[in-house]
A and B are shown apart, each in its own frame.
Chain A
Amino acid sequence: MTPTISATALGRRYRDQVALDDVSLTVEPGTVTGLLGRNGAGKTTLMRIITGQEFPSSGDLRVFGETPAENDEVLARMVFVREEQSYPDFQVRHAIRVASWFYPNWDEDLAQQLLKDFELPPRRRIKRLSRGMRSAVGIVIGLAARADLTLFDEPYAGLDAVARQLFYDRLLAEFAEHPRTILLSTHLIDEVADLLEHVVMLDHGRVVLDAPADEVRGTGMIVNGPYTAVEEFVAGRTVWHRQRLGSRASVTIADPLDLAAQAQARALHLSLEPLSLQQLLVHAAGVSADEKVSA
């Protein structure tokens, strides 16, 4: 099957600044992929190239097997919800109506339902909405478009925890009933971790991690216990971080532990604590941009 997105040695420079450097990745159809990384890592640039709003300086990028820039057929199959999207001086209902003209799979009933769910007043001018409510307008459009490729770039500025949970629940339900390819960039990694099937992490414009979320989760482990026992256990393993308090130590290791290793840890009275996806990515970013973390 043709990948929904495939990037080959993709590069993007602005004068002497490198935004994307040798990025190669594929996003398979019908998956939810998390695009993660710090501010300035290149996430938005990559999404802008995918949606044809920007050209690569080098390399190749294809969406549905074609070049997206100025390709109406490809562009009609995707929706891009940006952080802090700006709108013309519309009422909410007008923004929704205009969006409905653009997307061939638009579901009006769903749009109306989502407006109610997010408590968006249809006749309120978007200018007069709070930041969170403006974000919700983008989310409604992103979901109701039912586009084959749905891109969310930090879609929830100002949304509170309840509204974010609503977004995750609606996203999952929509994805389950009407499968599509979703690329979601976010800082709230632990909130979305369980929704992701695949994880791509950018750091300084390069891909530092590209793996199934399940594999990534089993990767890192914090080993806690008496200093000497911890050191004995981690000898020969890849250590990401060391901490010592008196006679106790806490060491973060990168390797997954098999059952024998886990039994050995128990015998040494060590406690093992898996790293959350977020902690793991913090370490992956620290490992340096030129060393690819294999999961």
Chain B
Amino acid sequence: MPALDEGMPLFVQIAEQLADDIVDGVLAEGARVPSTNELAAFYRINPATAAKGINLLVDEAVLEKRRGIGMFVATGAREQLRASRRKRFAEQYVDPMLAEANRLGIDTDTLVSLIQGPGWHNGGSTP
């Protein structure tokens, strides 16, 4: 899935927010996911839109429905999301960075030293 941006349909943004929480471990595997109505009230959106977002993750087997109880984070969901995001990492983050570096005349060596420099430790988080 592409990074969160305004142009995406709302339900995709909702799915993306939940996926972020799962990747970050805020929503642990086996944890209950907020209900459609809770999401609707929180994001101030139509409940049908929230349901569409949740269903997107159910289709990817990231969430599972337990009848009568609610929606839960599936086992293995975090690793699954991390794997699919890794696949898109180059396209989403590296390609645009290389394009801008090229535009500015920053060569590969400089780029590598920037990546290895102190900025990583100050600005980034550990993987």
Contact = CB atoms under 8 A, between A and B. Distances in A.
Q: Say whether A associates with B.
A: yes
Interface of A: 31-32, 168-169, 172-173, 175-177, 194-197, 213-214, 217-218, 221, 259, 266-267, 269, 272-274
Nearest to A221: B7
Given A172-B41, A213-B46, A218-B9, 8 more contacts: A194-B10, A195-B46, A197-B46, A197-B48, A214-B52, A217-B9, A259-B2, A266-B96
B47 interface: yes
Contacts of B96: 266
B45 A194 contact: yes
A197 B49 contact: yes
A168 B40 CA distance: 11
Nearest to B2: A259
11 contacts: A32-B46, A194-B49, A195-B46, A197-B46, A213-B46, A213-B49, A214-B9, A214-B10, A266-B96, A266-B99, A267-B99
Interface residues of B, number: 21
Contacts of A272: 7
Binding site secondary structure of chain A:
helix
Nearest to B11: A214
Contacts of A267: 99
A183 to B, nearest CB: 14
B64 to A, nearest CB: 22
Contact of B44 (A32, A195, A197, A266): A195
A186 to B, nearest CB: 15
Contacts of B59: none
B43 interface: yes
A217 B44 CA distance: 16
A269 B103 contact: yes
A176 B2 CA distance: 30
A273 B6 CA distance: 8
Nearest to B46: A197
A195 B46 CA distance: 5
B37 interface: yes
B103 A168 contact: no
